[in-house]
Amino acid sequence: VILNSPNNPTGAVVDPEELTRLLDWCDGRGVWLIYDETYDRFLYDGRLHASAAARLLAGERVVVTGAASKTYAMTGWRLGWALGPPALIRAMASYQSHTTSNASSISQAAALKALTALDSAAASVADMLAHYESRRHVIVEGLRAIRGVRCGMPEGAFYAFADVSELYGRKGVTGSAAFCDRLLSEAHVAAVPGDAFGDDACARFSFATDPARITEAVRRIAAWAVA
């Protein structure tokens, strides 16, 4: 089972009881859980992250993955990690060293600093989260105000995954890829087609950018939707 919480693209968050049920289900059947906790610091409304690390330490078939990309704004530095049973991690390291070789020493040094300078990293994460919290409202409320767009409030991560399918007929497109193509070429707003995530009714909008850009993007989408 592969699970990602907080989730890209929906922003959904698995609560602790649900995670326990999932882990019990996997444990009872000898199934591995690969749990991607990359967005573990990006939670809103006081939600807490449910980690599978304790069950991994208890010897269960669990792999926890994470990355420096989001928490430490290190997208492009190509540095992530996996925690798992030693024998599995050894096999993963052997495989990786013959395929992608290694993460660059520069990225490793930067990530080491981020992961060990706990106080300054925590302060910058808290500051970033406060900004994302207000941007989340700007984008979701902006999208909801557009007729034909429906959007849930993300509980975590930094994406709004909106159902835009009511606009397909109006814009003469048949799916999310064509929708995002047209939105990019005509309104100059970039979104990721939902079909890449298994839901062709939706498009993913990132709010990891400054509020003025978000406001402008929403204005353009709204104008384009009725053009």
Site residues, ligand PLP (CB under 6 A)? 4, 8, 36, 38, 67, 69, 75, 80
Q: Which is nearer to ligand PLP, 8 or 176 (CB)?
A: 8
| Total Cβ atoms within 10 A of residue 221 | 22
- Cβ at position 28, least distance to ligand PLP in Å: 26
Q: Parallel, antiparallel, or unpaired: how do β-strands 192-193 and 62-67 relate?
A: unpaired
Give CA–CA dist 140/76, Å, rounded.
27
Q: Which is nearer to ligand PLP, 51 or 215 (CB)?
A: 51
Structure-block tokens of residue 4: 């990602």
CA dihedral of 142, 143, 146, 150, whole degrees rounded to 10: -140
Q: Are the beta carbons of 26 and 58 closer than 8 angstroms?
A: no
Q: Which is nearer to ligand PLP, 4 or 176 (CB)?
A: 4
Q: Are the beta carbons of 5 and 38 closer than 8 angstroms?
A: no
Q: Which is nearer to ligand PLP, 102 or 174 (CB)?
A: 102
Residue partners of 188: CB distance under 8 A and separation at least 6:
220
Q: Which is nearer to ligand PLP, 69 or 124 (CB)?
A: 69
- Cβ at position 39, least distance to ligand PLP in Å: 7
- Cβ at position 150, least distance to ligand PLP in Å: 23
- Cβ at position 214, least distance to ligand PLP in Å: 19
- Cβ at position 87, least distance to ligand PLP in Å: 24
Q: Are the beta carbons of 111 and 72 closer than 8 angstroms?
A: yes
